[in-house]
Structure 1
Amino acid sequence: MDYRNERRWMYKRVNPGRKGLRDEFKAGVDNFVDFACVQPTFVENNVIKCPCTKCRNRRYKNPGDVKLHLYKWGFESNYWCWIYHGEEVLQSSVNFDDTSHNHVDGDDMYETMIYDNFGLNQEPSYLNRDIEGPHDSAKQFYELLDSAQQPLWSGCTADTELSFTLKMMSIKSSYNIAQKAMDEIFDACNRAMPSPNKVPSSFYEAEKLVSKLGLGHEKIDCCVNGCMLYYKEDIALAQCKFCFEPRFKKSNKPNSKVPRKRMHYLPLIPRLQWLFASPSSAKHMRWHFENQREPGVMCHPSDGEAWKHFDQMYPQFASKPRNVRLGICSDGFSPFGMSAKSYSCWPIIVTVYNLPPSMCMTTPYMFLTSIIPGKHNPKTKIDVYLQPLIDELKCLWETGVVTYDVSLKHNFVLKAALMWTISDFPAYGMLSGWQTAGKLSCPYQVGFTEYLKMIFL
């Protein structure tokens, strides 16, 4: 048997242009796993050696994990004959590289450590790329950032235009300083510092500088009863198309249009792109894919069954380590405490799970995307307020957005998937649409268990 001709599919994993896995490769992986599963080793132990470029036939794994590893990393080099999976060697048909497998029998941890430390293991294919410059929007961002990082005045080493402006904006937010007061503070700073300087002349100029960096926000008018958003095709409506409540407050001024209710939305896509534009976070966005952990120990969501099941269901998405895994959490709170009148608002927070445990679920990487205004609980109408976020999530899942990875110096199409929601049981009912009170409140057993009514005296 001519292994090289028969098994060329082993090293032709992805389609041209890196648009997903080849059907021939996926079928070949299925045949390989089926072949390995009839061997005595699997029959006795229910595990087989993994021949991916990471494990290199050193580690035993279950067939599902082996298939997933092969989708992600492909077969190790020159493994034409499956000698570690029960296949006999035909010397006349195949020549093996002498250094490819001479160390595989036995789990030599020291050798593995040396290979990993000096980078001798085969790199994943997404690393083997030519260096590219940023795409247009990323290039504009870097140029703007560079210009904003000029000294505040000639010879100043303590602050740049951007750092000074951000400090002043932070002070305004922390102490709730009025805009007029900020204008006077900027004017006083401008006169006190050497001329010429780059101190913003007013609060408006400071806002304009910060907004150019790309992390803006949108103000979206809402129906006072939460029936709809004045958004997309409904943006020009003057009243709710469901309850017919007027959009704007009554006013004696003919041109005054003050909305009765408004929500703030902070776009998610620019924030995800920033994670790859920043050197401090870009390289960590592949951590869940590149770092091997001890089997059977869960130290990160990627070690869990839900993550692995998702990878098996969507292997093309899983094969690209920079694709982002997201979670949503939401809960209501009273911003005025218990001393004021009843009022609650609901923040919607999106969390990035690609990052290592030391960064995952920390404040800088938990993105506030929207604040659902009160004063009442949105209840089953929460999906109305989630429309802008859902539109972005659909875009990230279906088409993706071109993003520049500063750690690898090239552009790629960023996609994302919403893995799960995190909430208490009442909020779970709101987000899922499932009734979490009454006879059929259990979302797991549905109608298969009897309910019990408790009487409290």
Structure 2
Amino acid sequence: MDKSWMGTDRHTKPYIDGVATFLDYAVRNLKISMNMDPLDSKIKIKIPCPCINCVNHISLHVSEVDHHLFRYGIDQNYTKWIKHGEKEDQPRNVLFKENYSMNTTYVDESTSFTIGIPTDAEDTVEMIEATEETFIGDHVKFQKLIEDVEKPLYKGCPNFTKLSAVVQLLNLKSKYGVSDKCFTETLVLIKKMLPEGNEMLSSTYEAKKEMKAMGSGYTKIHACINDCILYRNEYKDVKVCPTCGKSRQKVDEKEKIIYENIPAKVLWYFPIIPRMKRLFQSKIIEQNLKWHANDRTHDDVLRHPADTPVWAAIDKRYPEFANDPINLRLGILANGVDVNRGNRNHSVWPIFLFDVGVETYDASSKEMFTLRAVVLWTINDYPALGTLCGCPYSGYKGCVVCGEQTHCIRLPKSKKQSYVGHRRYLPYKHPFRSQRNAFNGEQEFTTAPEPLSGEEIFDNVKYVINKWGKRS
């Protein structure tokens, strides 16, 4: 179906005719999916509105959708009309392949308004064999993985292999938050329903163990009880922390007992690199990762991180990185996650162990390439922002922007600090600047402080000697 009208002016004939064709298409598909007569014009229905304000989150009557599309315009990124009956690419696997064309005017009665789960399983064997040379881990398990990706789920099964079935079921488990216990019982039930001698796994443990061979595991790293060091690299065989002198092993202070086989603290590190590499094992995901370079609309409208000045600054500063759209740009949640509902025994924090590019298999080109990534943003609360900036975030100089020019007063009644001086950021002739009684009894005509540049921040901290660990 021609969708070129979406980018035309809303007053032109192509746009007017395109909206009419789109609405007929959407209404017909929805009626078919609801077993209604598609030719019955008396039935009033609501459809998701794809205008730039509603972006398919709100369902409206057809007349209202028509009004929105002319008033606000259609979302330019909505190029595949999956919310209005257009089918996505069919899931594929090793033993089953179906040709499917998107060039249809209307869809048939089997139209689904849901999103399927892509597997790209037919390319899995080739992908695994291509990455065998760079595989780090147990090669016996790796060979078993190759066998599982070729092995039918049961004798004569046309649609699934042992591995592709496990992958899709784990996708559903993750998508809908299914508990491990429920997932195990579901696997047992499916195994009983399938023909005798089937290869279906029978527990969540077995399914996760299968995925671990694909690079979904974790690494346990011993840590100092006071967070001074990780016992890795040059500290791998050290028994006592060189910073605080605490034992690497758990110590019973009352009984004066050292438990030799129990570490005082353990970091469960979930490596991000294998997960990044796995993104490129699916052709669909790999194409989405390149969307910012190949399919994004360039019209100076901020819709995506690629439209921001930060993205452009990286492109300008690192042209070699920018020239390859397959490189990743990350946003990091930096203030941690409490996974224990108040229990402080465990916490989740982002930790990066740096490397200079990694060899990765690209399912589209069927070649190896060097994957690189850059951190563009951090998402954090104010204390985490202060930690990341290396700045104080409390006390009389507790503003990470104003720094030494922070205006702070002590409130005698509550005995707390209050940060004032916000009028400095108002336009110079703003009436609030000259008011006294409404504020602190003084007029404010000073200018706002300029945030420090990266070079200035570096000059301020380059002689600071950092000491890791907790302070007593």
TM-score (norm 1): 0.51
Question: How big is the shift at 1:455?
Answer: 4.6
The residue aligned with 1:122 is: none
Question: How big is the shift at 1:427?
Answer: 1.3
Check 1:308–1:346 CA distance in 2 against 1; reply closer, same or farther (3 A cut): farther
Check 1:138–1:282 CA distance in 2 against 1; reply closer, same or farther (3 A cut): farther
Amino acid at match of 2:232: Y
Amino acid at match of 1:239: V
| Deviation sequence 1:277-310 (CA, Å, 0-9, x none) | 1112111211112234243310011111111122
- 1:262 partnered with 2:262: no
Task: Please tell me whether the aligned partners of residues 397 and 404 of structure 2 are also in contact (alpha carbons under 8 angstroms).
Answer: yes
Question: How big is the shift at 1:240?
Answer: 1.8
Task: Please tell me whether the aligned partners of residues 155 and 198 of structure 2 are also in contact (alpha carbons under 8 angstroms).
Answer: yes
Question: How big is the shift at 1:330?
Answer: 2.7
1:126-275 equivalent positions in 2, closer than 5 A: 134-137=130-133, 144=145, 147-148=148-149, 150-156=151-157, 160-162=161-163, 165=166, 167=169, 174-175=178-179, 177=181, 194-200=195-201, 206-250=207-251, 257-275=261-279
Residue in structure 1 matching 2:325, options 321, 326, 330: 321
Residue in structure 1 matching 2:375, options 418, 431, 446: 418
Check 1:185–1:210 CA distance in 2 against 1; reply closer, same or farther (3 A cut): same
Amino acid at match of 2:409: L
SS at match of 2:216: coil
SS at match of 2:250: coil
The residue aligned with 2:363 is: 406
Q: Which whole-Å CA distance do the structure 2 matches of 1:329 and 1:201 have between them?
A: 35
Check 1:449–1:244 CA distance in 2 against 1; reply closer, same or farther (3 A cut): closer
The residue aligned with 1:311 is: 315
Q: Which whole-Å CA distance do the structure 2 matches of 1:298 and 1:284 have between them?
A: 19
Check 1:238–1:198 CA distance in 2 against 1; reply closer, same or farther (3 A cut): same
The residue aligned with 1:129 is: none
Question: How big is the shift at 1:274?
Answer: 1.3
Question: How big is the shift at 1:224?
Answer: 1.5
The residue aligned with 2:81 is: none
Task: Please tell me whether the aligned partners of residues 335 and 343 of structure 1 are also in contact (alpha carbons under 8 angstroms).
Answer: no
| Deviation sequence 1:93-120 (CA, Å, 0-9, x none) | xxxxxxxxxxxxxxxxxxxxxxxxxxxx
Check 1:408–1:258 CA distance in 2 against 1; reply closer, same or farther (3 A cut): same
Task: Please tell me whether the aligned partners of residues 396 and 406 of structure 2 are also in contact (alpha carbons under 8 angstroms).
Answer: no
Task: Please tell me whether the aligned partners of residues 335 and 344 of structure 1 are also in contact (alpha carbons under 8 angstroms).
Answer: no
Task: Please tell me whether the aligned partners of residues 357 and 371 of structure 2 are also in contact (alpha carbons under 8 angstroms).
Answer: yes
Paired-residue identity, %: 30
Check 1:226–1:262 CA distance in 2 against 1; reply closer, same or farther (3 A cut): same
Check 1:288–1:194 CA distance in 2 against 1; reply closer, same or farther (3 A cut): closer
1:34-49 equivalent positions in 2, closer than 5 A: none
Task: Please tell me whether the aligned partners of residues 250 and 258 of structure 2 are also in contact (alpha carbons under 8 angstroms).
Answer: no
- 1:443 partnered with 2:400: yes
Check 1:421–1:185 CA distance in 2 against 1; reply closer, same or farther (3 A cut): closer
| Deviation sequence 1:121-144 (CA, Å, 0-9, x none) | xxxxxxxxxxx9945458998994
Q: Which whole-Å CA distance do the structure 2 matches of 1:282 and 1:176 have between them?
A: 30
Question: How big is the shift at 1:267?
Answer: 1.1
The residue aligned with 1:70 is: none
Check 1:207–1:448 CA distance in 2 against 1; reply closer, same or farther (3 A cut): closer
Task: Please tell me whether the aligned partners of residues 292 and 306 of structure 2 are also in contact (alpha carbons under 8 angstroms).
Answer: yes
1:32-181 equivalent positions in 2, closer than 5 A: 134-137=130-133, 144=145, 147-148=148-149, 150-156=151-157, 160-162=161-163, 165=166, 167=169, 174-175=178-179, 177=181
Gaps of 5+ in 1: 1-131, 349-369, 371-385
TM-score (norm 2): 0.49
| Deviation sequence 1:347-399 (CA, Å, 0-9, x none) | 34xxxxxxxxxxxxxxxxxxxxx5xxxxxxxxxxxxxxx3xx1x33xx2xxx3
The residue aligned with 1:295 is: 299
Amino acid at match of 2:240: Q
SS at match of 2:277: helix
Task: Please tell me whether the aligned partners of residues 358 and 370 of structure 2 are also in contact (alpha carbons under 8 angstroms).
Answer: yes
Q: Which whole-Å CA distance do the structure 2 matches of 1:250 and 1:447 have between them?
A: 44
Check 1:405–1:185 CA distance in 2 against 1; reply closer, same or farther (3 A cut): closer
Task: Please tell me whether the aligned partners of residues 138 and 404 of structure 1 are also in contact (alpha carbons under 8 angstroms).
Answer: no
Check 1:224–1:134 CA distance in 2 against 1; reply closer, same or farther (3 A cut): same
Question: How big is the shift at 1:332?
Answer: 4.1
Task: Please tell me whether the aligned partners of residues 330 and 347 of structure 1 are also in contact (alpha carbons under 8 angstroms).
Answer: no
Q: Which whole-Å CA distance do the structure 2 matches of 1:285 and 1:409 have between them?
A: 16
| Deviation sequence 1:157-184 (CA, Å, 0-9, x none) | 676423555648959x954549xx97x9
Amino acid at match of 1:232: N
SS at match of 1:298: coil
Q: Which whole-Å CA distance do the structure 1 matches of 2:379 and 2:284 have between them?
A: 27
Task: Please tell me whether the aligned partners of residues 329 and 373 of structure 2 are also in contact (alpha carbons under 8 angstroms).
Answer: yes
Q: Which whole-Å CA distance do the structure 2 matches of 1:345 and 1:429 have between them?
A: 22
Check 1:291–1:263 CA distance in 2 against 1; reply closer, same or farther (3 A cut): same
Task: Please tell me whether the aligned partners of residues 328 and 373 of structure 2 are also in contact (alpha carbons under 8 angstroms).
Answer: yes
Question: How big is the shift at 1:421?
Answer: 1.1
Amino acid at match of 1:198: E
Runs of 4+ deviating beyond 6 Å: 138-143, 184-193, 201-204, 251-255
Check 1:176–1:320 CA distance in 2 against 1; reply closer, same or farther (3 A cut): closer
Q: Which whole-Å CA distance do the structure 2 matches of 1:309 and 1:454 have between them?
A: 43
Check 1:135–1:261 CA distance in 2 against 1; reply closer, same or farther (3 A cut): closer
Q: Which whole-Å CA distance do the structure 1 matches of 2:143 and 2:293 have between them?
A: 28
Task: Please tell me whether the aligned partners of residues 333 and 345 of structure 1 are also in contact (alpha carbons under 8 angstroms).
Answer: no
Q: Which whole-Å CA distance do the structure 2 matches of 1:291 and 1:142 have between them?
A: 38
Gaps of 5+ in 2: 1-126, 415-472
1:334-413 equivalent positions in 2, closer than 5 A: 334-337=338-341, 342-343=343-344, 345-348=346-349, 386=351, 389=352, 391-392=353-354, 395=355, 399-413=356-370
Q: Which whole-Å CA distance do the structure 1 matches of 2:300 and 2:147 have between them?
A: 46
